[in-house]
Amino acid sequence: MRQDTATDRKKINVLADRGELFAAVDAAVTALKQFDEPSVELRHLTVLLMARAGSLNEADKHYSNLGLNKDAGVEARTLGARLLKDKAFSSQPAKQHEALKTAGATYLRIYQDTKDTYPGINAATLAALAGDFLTAKSLAAKVLKTLALSPDQHSYWHFATVAEAHILNGDDDAAIMAITSAADSEATKLADRASTLAQLRRLLTAQNKPHDILKPLTPKITLHYSGHMIAAKHESGRILAENEKEVSSRISSAIDVLDPGAAFGALASGSDILIAEHLLKRKIDLHVILPFAIDEFIDVSVRPAGAQWVKRFHACIAQAKTLGFLTEQPYLNDDLLFGIAAKLAMGRAVLHAGHISGEARQLAIWDKRKTDIPAGTSADVANWERLGNDTHIVDVADMGNLPKKSPGVTFASIPKGTRVEAAMLFGDVKGFSKLNDAELPLFVEHILGTINRHLGENKNRPNFANTWGDGLFAVWGSPVKAAIQALLIQDAIAEFSSGKTKLPMEFSMRISLHYGVAHRLVDPILGQKNYFGEAVARAARIEPITPPGGIYTTEQFAAMLMLELDSPVVAEYVGNIAAAKDFGSFPLYRLRWKLAP
């Protein structure tokens, strides 16, 4: 019988400790399949990592399927209570108070049975969040007395629990001392810090207090970077070749000030590569996102500055943590790809920062000349500022020789291509194939009719929609609009499961969403503009592996959702899943309403 060991679990924890929650979840799920009888520790770790990654539905399902709901041990019971707590924060505001009370009561029962401080402090915090500060303080005082007698008073979780109890009691000075000790005890435990920070931030918010005391625990920032390319020797540009050394020095100083833990951006000659080289020298995780196929990107954005930049590009790629693309298709003189890829890198940075409860900032190597084009450093800074995030600007106005009013600040005059931003939806209805000819008119009237009413009456009307049988294909320019529409359609279809029609069975729908670029061309058969390309195929391949009643999105779609302020939807990580028809494996997310404040 093959069973996992502490060494196997340590490899998974290493990923989590580095803030790579998605990779950690994938590794845990893979490990579950490799061993004949997974240990309770591995089962617990898998569910915990899913919860930390925000995949509450997956965590809840695995908690039951792995038998943890029948485990009487304190760790399994508190994990179940933790899932209730996470669900409470994702519930409708009107239901949140009762959900918090239910989760708190579950923790309290465990504390009363075991006197364990972990369920005790959670019961206290949830009581405070539900408005019962008297009970919260009473429980916090009891927990502090127990902790004072604990033989283990030097671990991270000891200090974190002490800090939480002091915040509940209103002793900020004691809380700061405990928070500082927690930060010093296990400086690399990003996953633990993220969990603690989320809890303490909620608690401080409930008490109308600032979050300043949490600074020692706050992880290093996640960086999005952008900047001007460098000119070839003896040519004009935003940054001249002879000024490379000075620009590099300024970038180095900026990175020292920002001190990031991870960075996301492109890899063009000049600023991008200089930033990447300084990041890699400091052993900071580099995540490269390119707008199109790598060889052509080199020809367009690297080689024009000189052959030496090509070598430096390849050296950076070889050391990058990840390499991603907006599309791996050709450039086709389509400058739109640069701007969209930059936004994708921003979304990936914000997504990463959120999972470690950290902050995302931007580093821009910019001459501060604003343009109205949709790509380039000026556009990147404007897009980032719309999120309300900070930008650290390295001013290079003195590093180039372009006149203040020059056509050189725009892309070359190239005819606009036929590719556009596209948020694509594919869906089909489970049960359709079992209908006979007499029942098909009812299906068209009730199911397709309901979908059409939502598409027509809602302000998020798609740019294109088509059906075939039970299949649906629709395209929007905005990921948020596509996400809202997908959830509305799914909610409407779910209502028919209660038997409100004369149809002989219940129906459920599978929906997939992907964001990318697609050709928008007149379809000679339909007689109207339709969407074509690799991105359309990717969206289609994901739909067959989506569970009935679910909505799966790609990482590109989830990242772009992060760039929409006040979005009512959220994408929670599911795992790295193989798409249909040998189309590869992708990190996938499940879409749900963002119901908590």
What does the pLDDT average to over 121-136?
A: 91
Report how far Cα 106 is from the mean position of its chain's Cα atoms. Answer: 30
Task: Name residue 164's amino acid.
Answer: E
- Reported as a single tens digit per residue, the pLDDT across 515-550 is 998 888 888 888 888 888 888 888 888 887 777 777
Predicted confidence band of residue 262 (pLDDT cuts 50, 70, 90) = very high
Report how far Cα 323 is from the mean position of its chain's Cα atoms. Answer: 16
Predicted confidence band of residue 414 (pLDDT cuts 50, 70, 90) = very low
Structure-token pair, residue 58: 């997956």
Query: For strand 222-227 and strand 262-265, is the pairing parallel, antiparallel, or unpaired?
Result: parallel
Return the pLDDT at 411.
Answer: 43
Higher pLDDT, 408 or 142: 142
- Reported as a single tens digit per residue, the pLDDT across 27-36 is 888 888 888 7
Query: For strand 360-366 and strand 391-395, is the pairing parallel, antiparallel, or unpaired?
Result: parallel
What does the pLDDT average to over 228-234?
A: 90
Q: Is the pLDDT of residue 204 over 70?
A: yes
Backbone angles phi, psi at 456, to 5 degrees: -85, -35
Return the pLDDT at 537.
Answer: 85
Q: Is the pLDDT of residue 407 over 50?
A: no
Helix axes of 21-34 and 40-52: crossing angle, nearest 10 degrees:
150
Q: Is the pLDDT of residue 18 over 90?
A: no
Out of 182-186, 261-265, 434-438, 565-569, pick the least confident.
434-438
Report how far Cα 444 is from the mean position of its chain's Cα atoms. Answer: 37
Q: How large a percentage of the chain has pLDDT more than 90?
A: 32
Query: Cβ neighbours of residue 40 under 8 Å, at least 6 residues apart?
Result: 68, 71, 73, 75, 76
Q: Is the pLDDT of residue 188 over 70?
A: no
Return the pLDDT at 347.
Answer: 93
577 strand-pairing partners: 586
Residue-range domains of the chain with CATH:
6-217 (1.25.40.10), 222-409 (3.40.50.450), 419-593 (3.30.70.1230)
Q: Is the pLDDT of residue 500 over 70?
A: no
Q: Is the pLDDT of residue 352 over 50?
A: yes
Return the pLDDT at 531.
Answer: 81
How far apart are the two ends of the chain, measured CA to CA in Å?
47
Predicted confidence band of residue 93 (pLDDT cuts 50, 70, 90) = low
Kind plus residue range of the DSSP H or E element containing 406: none
Rounded Cα distance, 339 and 363, in Å: 16
Query: For strand 585-593 and strand 569-578, is the pairing parallel, antiparallel, or unpaired?
Result: antiparallel
Structure-token pair, residue 37: 């009888």
Return the pLDDT at 597.
Answer: 43
Half-sphere exposure of 64 (CA within 13 A, CB side): 5
Predicted confidence band of residue 361 (pLDDT cuts 50, 70, 90) = very high
- Reported as a single tens digit per residue, the pLDDT across 310-348 is 999 999 999 999 999 998 888 888 888 998 999 999 999
What does the pLDDT average to over 478-495?
A: 82
Note the pTM of the prediction, 2 decimals.
Answer: 0.77
Mean pLDDT of the chain: 84
Return the pLDDT at 498.
Answer: 47
User: 20-38: buried (b, 16+ CB within 10 Å) or exposed (e) per residue?
Assistant: bbbbbbbbbbebbeeeeeb
Structure-token pair, residue 413: 């005059």
Out of 15-29, 39-53, 394-408, 560-574, pick the least confident.
394-408
Rounded Cα distance, 378 and 445, in Å: 50
What does the pLDDT average to over 478-499?
A: 77
Structure-token pair, residue 202: 């909620």
Predicted confidence band of residue 446 (pLDDT cuts 50, 70, 90) = low
